[in-house]
Amino acid sequence: MADVYFQKMTPEGHQQIINEIEALKADRPAKIKQLQEARALGDLSENAEYSAAKRDLRHLESRLRYLNKQLQYAQVIEPEDNGEVDIGTDVELRFEDDNETETYHIVGKQEANVDEQKISFDSPIGRAIMHQKAGTTVNVVAPASSYQVTIIKVSVNK
């Protein structure tokens, strides 16, 4: 039997997908109505409104299929408060090259957003710190260089 590939994510990431699906489903009737109204205008070969409405509905349907697949293969990780870095934990890191500290929330791939201090468990820094405890210094191998970080604190916000 083939291995099933799960999309690891936080409970918050899972809920975001559900919320987006609900919003798209709520928007769907309006998109269908726009398409019907544009179709009623006549000649479809030169009808820009029809082409735009058809494209918008296709995009909405495609996004719904994608998000439903994300949910189908979702593996929601509930973080444990065991002191180890894992999906759903917050981790304070000190970058050894400049002694700067940053706090990140470890999330699934599709939730990553550096501007919001959310990094993927599968990013170079995420892979280096996963399942490590506070006080540990690890080497991060990134595409452009390598650097060291020390895990200062690991916490779970519930």
SS3 46: helix
Residues spanned by the domain of 12? 7-76
At residue 1, the pLDDT reads 42
Pairing of strands 90-95, 137-141: unpaired
Q: Determine the average pLDDT of the residues in 78-91.
A: 94
| Per-residue pLDDT tens digits for 25-48 | 999 999 999 988 888 877 667 778
The CATH number covering residue 45 comes to: 1.10.287.180
Phi-psi region of 50 (alpha: psi -120 to 50; beta: other; left: phi over 0): alpha
Q: Are residues 43 and 104 in the same domain?
A: no
Question: Which of the listed residues 76, 107, 125 is the one where a domain comes to its end?
Answer: 76
Q: What is the pTM of this model?
A: 0.80
Structure tokens belonging to residue 77: 């990780």
The count of domains in the chain is 2
Q: Are residues 98 and 144 in the same domain?
A: yes
Structure tokens belonging to residue 94: 């000190």
Structure tokens belonging to residue 122: 């599968």
| Per-residue pLDDT tens digits for 87-136 | 999 999 999 999 999 999 999 998 999 999 999 999 999 999 999 999 99
Judge whether 95 lies within some domain: yes
Q: Are residues 115 and 60 in the same domain?
A: no
Q: Are residues 96 and 148 in the same domain?
A: yes
Produce one character per residue of 38-76: b if its CB has 16 or more CB atoms within 10 Å, e if not: beeeeeeeebeebeebbeebeebeeeeeebeebeeebeb
Structure tokens belonging to residue 22: 């609900």
